[in-house]
Amino acid sequence: MSAPLSFPITARRTGLYRSGRPWRTACLLLALWAGLPLLPGHGNPPAGPGQAWAQDGGGDDGGDDGDGGAGGGRAGAAGTRGGDGRSDSDTGIQEPAPRVDPGRSVAQELVGVNPSAAALRRAGALGLQVVQTQRLGQLGLVVVRLRVPPGLDARTALALAEERDPGVFDLHHRFRLQQGNRSEAPAGACDLPGCEPLAQIGWPASARCGAGQTVGLVDGPVARSATGLRGLDLQQRRLAPPGRPPADEDHGTAVALLLAGQPSGGFQGLLPAVRLRVAVPFYRLPDGQVSADAFDLAASLDWLVGQGTDVIGLSLSGPPNRVLAAAVREAQARGAVLVAAVGNEGRAAPPAHPAALDGVLGVTALAADGRLYWRAGQGAQVDFALPGVGVSVPQPDGQLQRRNGTSFAVPYLVAQVSQSLAEGRTAARQWRDGSAIPVNDLGPRGRDDQYGWGLPRPALQCR
């Protein structure tokens, strides 16, 4: 039992007591004592559950939050060295500054990966109800969604489930696209829009690039009507929850144009001859933000593996999640190379997933002069650095707009990996190791937490 509150008798000799108002003095001291926990250095104020930095200034739909899941992967905090490349001269409107966002998981839901019948019975005894079961045949996984009963929050339910079945269940985390905003861009010196960053990476801008290759994206929907994509072998599949409003086509179309834009349509993409498959798990939340759930990201990877994709780009990030980690692991076991954005939360942010998972190639964004995108994540998850600041993308009205963000660096690394594998110049294990890939080393000698190994420069021909 704690001791009762008391004041030292010596307080009677203070100037405050001599004022003749002993009760006022006592009340003042009591108020000061009660307020200590709110002062800097005297404890922490109450925080909302699972607060996390937003990826793109977004909110959530009032759901249960938390980032206390687990997904394995590469450890390591962000680097503390300089070289973040922040500059007010970066072309393109920057994303809004990050703010605390509690909406990192779906309200009152858990997910599970390969749960046994006994584990589901024990979950049912806690009041959890299975609302969806999906067999991911291409990945060899069974994933489930469970509803948490009223009166029990998701994190408490997860802690209870973990006591008997560790490593099976997780929060139903959300993931976000790593996009920046836009501004009009002046006409460049290239013959076609899209050529400038290709010169930066030494790319052979040929219509034959991508021939015989099947590449996948997990992104927002792609506008088939985009002039720069006409003639592309494109298939996409919506995998967002039924009834959810679709995400707009802006982000997915921009990434698809950078990767596979058609010269005949007026835009020079990296792999014009590629077969492009796009899985679309993203939907719009009531507050207008765009999000994808871990359950649907796993289904996206399952579908893309079934489409025979060799390389998969994920211009998204979020917290660690067991279901997503299992899906990534199984996709890799079936030969797919995964490329993911390292996130736009800044160098002090925790490692972004899935970029932080073992074997996933994490890519950061560069400006044309080699500076790092000032909001890019840093740390052990960074493997390579590719163009992603001020890259030009045509809009429906034909105007070019500059885009910033690690999202837009993903298609450049996807193209390099896919073309080099197709030409037999590198093996997937060499990309995962990194040290054997020819690069422009942009930071300290060897790999570092800002640029990774550097800017890849494999000798490609596209013949």
Q: Six-digit token pair at 144?
A: 């489930």
57-77 CB burial, b ≥16 within 10 A, e <16: ebebeebbbbbbbebbbbeee
Say what the pTM is. 0.77
Closest among 384, 402, 360 to 442, alpha carbons compared: 384
Could you identify the residue written with the tokens 């969604």?
A: 145
Tokens of residue 328, six digits: 């990534």
CATH fold of 176-456 reads: Rossmann fold (3.40.50)
Cβ count within 10 A of residue 337: 23
Q: What's the token pair of residue 218?
A: 């997990």
Q: Are 232 and 214 in contact (CB under 8 A)?
A: no
CA pair distance 11, 17, nearest whole angstrom? 7
CB 355 within 8 A of CB 343: yes
**Residue 247 DSSP one-character state:** P
Structure tokens at 196: 């400038």
Q: Are 394 and 258 in contact (CB under 8 A)?
A: no
List b or e across 288-320, with b for residues whose CB sees 16 or more CB atoms inside 10 angstroms: ebbbbbbbbbbbbbbbbbebebbbbbbbbbbbb
Contacts of 13 (CB under 8 A, 6+ apart): none
Surface-to-core class of residue 251, CB atoms within 10 Å of its CB (0-12 exposed, 13-18 middle, 19+ buried): buried
Query: In sequence order, what E strands does 162-320 have?
Result: 169-177, 182-184, 214-218, 233-238, 275-280, 283-284, 290-293, 311-314, 316-317
CB-based contacts of 27: which residues, under 8 Å, 6+ apart? none
| Contact (CB, 8 A) for 192 and 280 | no
- Amino acid symbol at 53: W
Continuous H helices in 52-174: 117-125, 154-164
The two three-digit tokens of residue 255, written as one number: 């990434």
CA nearest neighbour of 146 among 106, 111, 104, 105: 111
- How many helices (H) and strands (E) would you count in the chain? 9, 21
Q: Give the pLDDT confidence score for residue 404 in this predicted structure.
A: 94
DSSP state at residue 4: P
DSSP, res 354: T
- Are 237 and 296 in contact by the 8 Å Cβ rule? The answer is no
Residues 232, 292 contacting (CB under 8 angstroms): no
> Which amino acid, 418?
S
Residue 18, pLDDT score: 35
Measured CA angle at 290 (ends 52, 270), to 5 deg:
105
Q: What are the distances in angstroms from CA 130 to CA 65, 106, 127, 148, 150? A: 20, 15, 10, 9, 15
pLDDT computed for residue 179 by the predictor: 66
Ordered by start, the domain boundaries in the chain are 9-38, 176-456
CA dist 243 and 139 (Å) reads 26
Pairing of strands 391-394, 400-403: antiparallel
Q: Digits of tens for pLDDT over the chain (463 positions)? A: 444 333 333 333 333 333 344 444 444 444 444 443 333 333 333 333 322 222 333 333 333 333 444 555 665 444 333 344 444 345 553 433 333 234 688 989 999 999 999 999 999 999 999 999 999 999 999 999 999 999 999 999 999 999 999 999 999 999 988 765 544 433 333 467 778 888 899 999 888 999 999 999 999 999 999 999 999 999 999 999 999 999 999 999 999 999 999 999 989 999 999 999 999 999 999 998 999 999 999 999 999 999 999 999 999 999 999 999 999 999 999 999 999 999 999 999 999 999 999 999 999 999 999 999 999 999 999 999 999 999 998 887 778 889 999 999 999 999 999 999 999 999 999 999 999 999 999 999 999 999 999 999 999 999 8
Distance in Å from the first CA to the final CA of the chain: 81
Six-digit token string for 40 = 């800097």
Is 357:325 a contact under the CB 8 Å cutoff? yes
Give which of 313, 315, 275, 282 is closest to 297, Cα–Cα: 282
Residues 327, 272: Cα–Cα separation, whole Å? 29
